[in-house]
Chains A and B, each alone.
Chain A
């Protein structure tokens, strides 16, 4: 297996080469996954907070459902989104199939439950601590939700990163709804799948190493932001 030994040198070479096609793929990966995480945050943060604070009938059932949806199989999500966006599907008129937007939709379906579930978990703990205090100040329920989201922001960044990890590493859904079209919907994971199927194992692995480096960079930036934020808060 000389492939394995050659992989690291290969990936360093790839990064240094500054190949425009490669960077276009890397950028599209980042763009799609970051937008999916944004969209998921928009859905997941308030949903998780409402589940943490709200007291309504069926709340436990919704919590169980959201937790279970964290395990959605990407291929099934990809197929469902394909069937909905297909020209023969109900939303075919939008002409979104085989576009990055379709990939964002699929990844949002995968990521939103993760963010919602982790948010609920974190804020429920905070709510148990502070609910009485906030109520004594006469804060409204929406106000409580907003306050908890703000207080939990450092913990919530981990929830967002978990969602980002799922999105950037995912291949099953985006290859179906994106079609892995060169220069249009080809991202890092689908390129890895393609190069593997071409038997270019060293190149595929090198791309994998690059993907991991990218994930480390994103996580490090968030960690750095968190640290400077906390430092500022303590001043």
Chain B
């Protein structure tokens, strides 16, 4: 009987060793991207078209821009698609990426409760609007996660001359989470949130919140796409990755982006040069 136990144990060891590596690796690339492109459904809509054209599967890891760039620096991805121009240019300048291309843009919107405690609904000037939120000390929920949206929001506060770091924990609340989680929290607290339009339009839990400020040129949100540098990380699938970038920037990819709709609305505007 004792022998039987050890044989069962050995069988388990061998079984796990045999089964574990059985997941095959076909022809694929890993795309490090942001939650807005996935949560809006854009990637689900366009990636199957690319796969049909090229035979390459694109595996998407959707995290905040800061984490996506960090993962790409570690070589854990072949293509980076994010929205924080300064950070992207630094990524390329430091040699982690080959070259940055403009891909598309969408825009940010300021979302707030119907009651509008700061009285900003309908304003055209987003900087004046957030200044008023700071003055009235109405709750503002920030991503606080070093994402592209967070960086854009911090730039707006700086323009408005508000030191939000000093207000952290009072009316200014940092969730340290993704767009959807931050929207859920902001809506729960009846606060204002800066969101990209795509995430907001696709969001399913809006309750009594709506867009209060939109259309300011400072709310434009540019996306870029970069091939991770194979000179730094030899395991980068450079040919397939470049093929994906060429497709995105070419007429087929740009048309797919332009044709994508969320609840009947176009939320991404291709602008590759």
Contacts and interface: CB of A to CB of B under 8 A. Distances in A.
Interface of A: 3, 35, 38-39, 41-42, 45-46, 86-89, 92, 95, 97-101, 104, 139, 142-143, 146-147, 149-150, 179-182, 184, 194, 196-201
A184 B61 CA distance: 11
A146 to B, nearest CB: 4
Given A88-B75, A104-B20, A181 B178 contact: no
Nearest to B182: A197
Given A97-B76, A199-B183, A38 B6 contact: no
Nearest to B75: A87
Contact of B62 (A97, A98, A180): A180
B75 A98 contact: no
A182 B58 CA distance: 10
B204 A198 contact: yes
Interface stretch (B8-16, B129-137, B210-218, B252-260): B8-16
A101 B21 CA distance: 7
B87 interface: no
Contacts of B235: 87, 92, 95
A226 B79 CA distance: 51
Contacts of A179: 30, 59, 61
Nearest to B200: A199
B9 A45 contact: yes
A45 B30 CA distance: 37
A196 B181 CA distance: 7
| Most chain A beta-carbon neighbours within 10 Å: one of B15, B23, B203, B206 | B23
B64 to A, nearest CB: 11
Nearest to B31: A181
Interface in B96-124: none
